Structure 1
Amino acid sequence: MKIILVGGGKVGTALARQLSEEGHNVTIVDTNKARVEHLTESYDVLGIVGNGSSITTLAEAGIEDADVFIAVTGSDELNLLCCMFAKKAGHCHAIARVRNPSYSHELDFIKKQIGISAIINPEMAAAKEISHLLRFPGASKIDTFAGGRVRLIKFALNGTQALDGVAIREIPTRLKSDILVCAVERSGDVIIPNGNFVLRSGDQVTFLATQENAHEFFQRIGLPVRPVRNALIVGGGAIAFYLSQELLENHVRVRIVERDADRCTELAEQLPGAQILNEDGSNREFLLSEGMESTEAFVALTNIDEENVLLTLFAKKHSHGKLVTKVNRLEFDDILAGLDLGSVVYPKYMTCDYIVQYVRALQNEAGSNIKTLYRILDDRVEALEFTVHEESAATGVPLSQLHLKKNLLLCCITRGDRILIPRGGDQIQVGDNVIVVTLEHGLHDLRDIVDHAAQN
């Protein structure tokens, strides 16, 4: 597909890499010449130095025959203006990143008026993810499918959970838990396991289950399941605002530490139920005096990654609460993985995942659309949810006779109100939603899960 991408910042760079690797014809537009040159030298993309809201620039980028237009500059207004001009000048799908909370209640109106296909608010998405983690604190990562009914949950396996040395096929009978282990991270490697795979203490285990079954499983292995009742948040930006709204609605006590006095005044007016503390969040004595040691959740949301990491490490030393760290830069995720920072949230990954999911879904409007896409375990595994629109080699065949590609696991089938952890006799039917986890990147359609060479 021909894709025009306006904005070459962190998200634009990640998208340029991902979309070009998937074989798309990508043209990136940015006013910064050095940035455009870096991107065109680093990835298989074309580059244009110019303003994405200029009709002349859009024409030079080939807007008339573009399939998708994506605006992810640092300005919400510029992103919307770019999309509006792109829709006028071409016939493409338009996607805009809009982050300002003041627009949060107007997004549907904006989409209809401008004709934008999708609007992404990464801060709101990050806040929802953190809210899920605080409601289920034993998990280090939670991704949702099937409208929230099915969850992909990651946790750290240690010696207290009675799973060390247990084969995966033994879990349902031994713990009477209807879950499916989908991926295991061990010593830097990622494995899509079969039933004979034996878990070891130190593994990072990702499993799929309904919310109720995940709750029962965590109770049986001794991990916390009670939602947190109070949270200490450092940093009063947009994510803190959205998160506090969610937490206050769920009767969680919220305290926000923010060094900017004017921002504190704004937050106090917008969040009357929260306690706003005007102080430098890196003041260790202040944090301890405000009850860091007894807080049930500590969330580091400043705009400086290094400060968030150090704050979380300090909180880890002084608190037994749930720890959440926001990280903006994507380059050091492998280093951060070794620091045990609790749950690390990357808003920019969420933006990339959503856009890649949308682009892949456009390519398969007839067969099986991608409904949900997550890249997990340091971007090495993809978890996808397909909606099955028509019959194919993957439908109407007992799963025991379906030759799936290597390093791929068919995890769940949702059929109406039913949620099936699939067994050998189950079959995929038209109308189903199917969740798969795979080490292979770039699946576009449910048909891609079948190893046709083995099938024949």
Structure 2
Amino acid sequence: MNIIIVGDGKVGAALAAQLSTEGHDITIIDSNPQVAGHSAEKLDVMAVIGNGASMTTLQEAGTDKAELLIAATSRDELNLLTCLTAKKLGAKHTIARVRNPEYADQLVAMRDELGLSMTVNPELSAAYEAYQLLQFPSFLKRESFAKGRVEIVAIPVDEGSKLAGIPLFKLYEIAGVQVLVCAVERGEEVHIPSGGFTLEAGDTIYVTAGLADLAKLVKNLKLVDRKVKNLLIIGGSRIAFYLAHRCLDSGVSVKIIERDHQRCLELAEVLPGAVIIEGDGSRQDVLDAEGLRLADAVVTLTGMDEENLVLSMFASHVGVPKVITKINRIEYADVFRKLGIGSVISPKGLCCANIVRYVRAMSSASGIDSVLALHSIVDGQVEALEFLAGPETRHCGETLKDIPLKKGILVSCITHEGKTILPKGDSRFYPGDTVIVVTAGDHAISDLDDIFSD
């Protein structure tokens, strides 16, 4: 597929790397010759130097032949103008990164006029993920499927856990609820386990379960289920605004520490229910004075990964039950999480995942609705995808035990007529069902038929 990416910043570079790896023809547009040249050399992609919103630059990049243009610069208005111009020049699909919450209503009302196929807001996505994690503090990660009815959650197997030493075929006896372990992270290795796989202390398991069963799972496994009643946010970014707004609406007490005076005034105006503290959240005396040790949860949202890491490690050290850390360098997520900083969220990673899902759907032989959701789990080593089975999908109506699947593929959930099914050997899927697939392979799956080995 011919794809143009405008803006070679963190998001643009990550997208170029991912989509190039999946075999697409990538052209990068950036006004900085050094930045664009570096990506062109490193990723073996085309580079065009210039203003991405300029008609001349877009024509030079071959926008009239582009199947997709992604505008990912740091300026919302430039991204919108770029998409509008690209659509006028003949680009089939356009995606814009738009971060300003003030534009939300306009984007809905003027989507067709702006020529937009999709918009992405990394900060809003990160805030939503953080909010989801705060609902079940014992989970390290949560990914939603089947319109929120099914989730894949990451659970640590700690020393003394009821799961340590248990083979998976005995999981129901321990958990008391139907769940499916779709991946296990053990040290540097990732396993797509069979029923005879035995869990060990130190493992992180990725569990597929219906939303209604998650609370039962937490209770039966005696996981930490302390409800978050007061939240401390360090850093007054856009993510902080989105997250605080959600938490306040759900009855959670929110305190935000921000060092910039003007930003504090802005937050106080738009978040009247929150406590806004003007201070340096990296200082221990400030954190102690503002009740860090008494918080049910801490979310570190400063603009520096290193600062967020240190603050999260300190919060974990003093016993804060739930710690969430924002990082931008997703390539180091695995290392960061093993430092004991709790859950990790990455706006850049979430933005890229949403766009890659859309690209996979465009590439699918079944059409734009084939890939309904795509989540990268186990720090990018495993993908979980939700597909819509169509009338032409092969092996519909056959039992799973008789379907030849590629190595490293697991069917983890089927939704049939609104009912969630954790599959067994005699389970089947039919046209109209949604199927969640987990793969540890390094190949990109764009269609449900891609999982079959015949």
What range describes the TM-score normalised by the shorter chain of this pair?
Answer: over 0.9
Give the 5 Å matches for 1:200-219.
Answer: 200-219=200-219
Which residue of structure 2 lines up, in the alignment, with residue 429 of structure 1?
A: 430
Conservation of the 8 A alpha-carbon contact between 1:135 and 1:225:
no
Query: Matched residues in 2 for 1:338 and 1:317: separation?
Result: 14
Q: Secondary structure at the match of 2:430?
A: coil
State the SS of the aligned residue for 1:161. Answer: coil
C-alpha contact (below 8 Å) 1:366/1:390 kept by paired residues: no
| Distance apart, 1:365 and its partner CA | 5.4
SS of the residue corresponding to residue 113 of structure 2 reads: helix
Distance (Å, rounded) in 1 between the aligned partners of 2:176 and 2:321: 29
Q: Which amino acid aligns with 2:402?
A: Q
Corresponding residue number in structure 2 for 1:266:
266
2:413 maps to what in 1?
412
- Once residues 18 and 79 of structure 1 are traced to their aligned partners in structure 2, the CA distance between those partners, rounded to angstroms, is 21
> Are the equivalent residues in 2 in contact too, given 1:3–1:66 (CA < 8 A)?
yes
Distance 2:244 2:107 in 1: 20
> For residue 232 of structure 1, what is the aligned residue in structure 2?
232
CA contact (8 A) 2:138 2:155 kept: yes
TM-score (norm 1): 0.97
Q: Deviations over 1:53-108 (max 9, x none)?
A: 11111111111111001000111111101000001111410000011122233331
2: distance between equivalents of 1:149 and 1:354? 19
Assess, with a 3 A threshold, how the Cα gap between structure 1 residues 110 and 365 changes in structure 2: closer, same or farther: farther
Answer yes or no: is the 8 Å Cα contact 1:135–1:226 preserved in 2.
no
Amino acid at match of 1:164: A
Taking only aligned residues, the RMSD between alpha carbons, in angstroms, comes to: 1.2
| Cα distance in 2 between the residues matched to 1:263 and 1:403 | 57
Q: Structure 2 CA distance, aligned partners of 1:408 and 1:383?
A: 10
Counterpart of 1:184 in structure 2 is 184
For structure 2, list consecutive stretches of 5 or more residues without a partner in the other structure.
none
Q: Percent identity?
A: 44
2:33 is matched by which residue type in structure 1? K
- Counterpart of 1:376 in structure 2 is 377
Write the distance in 1 (CA, Å) between the matches of 2:449 and 2:366: 12
* 8 Å contact kept, 1:179–1:214: no
Find the aligned partners of 1:394 and 1:145 in 2 and give their Cα distance. 22
2:293 is aligned with what amino acid?
A: E
Q: Determine whether 1:103 maps to 2:103.
A: yes
Name the structure 2 match of 1:315: 315
The equivalent residue for 1:197 is 197
> What displacement does 1:137 show?
0.4
> What is the deviation of 1:226?
4.4
**1:325 paired residue number:** 325
Query: 1:319: how far off?
Result: 2.6
Q: Per-residue CA shift, 1:376-400, capped at 9, x if unaligned?
A: 1111100000011223323121111
The 5-angstrom pairing of residues 285-324 of structure 1 reads 285-324=285-324
Match of 1:449 among 426, 448, 451: 451
Alignment of 1:20-419 (within 5 A): 20-364=20-364, 366=366, 369-419=370-420
Runs of 4+ aligned residues of structure 1 deviating over 3 Å after TM superposition are none
How far 1:174 sits from its partner (Å)? 3.4
Matches of 1:179 and 1:332 in 2, distance apart?
A: 30
Alignment partners' CA distance in 1, 2:312 and 2:384: 28
Distance 2:183 2:174 in 1: 20
Deviations 1:239-284 (A, max 9, x none): 0000001000100000000001111111111001000011111121
Separation in structure 2 between the aligned mates of residue 63 and residue 34 of structure 1, nearest angstrom: 22
Aligned partner of 1:158: which letter?
Answer: D
Distance 1:392 1:113 in 2: 35
Unaligned runs of 5+ in 1: none
Give the Cα separation in 1 of the matches to 2:234 and 2:393: 51
Q: Is the 8 A contact 2:184 2:191 kept in 1?
A: yes
Letter in 1 for 2:453: D
- Counterpart CA distance in 2 for 1:340 and 1:171 is 27
How far apart, in 2, do the equivalents of 1:380 and 1:64 lie?
A: 36
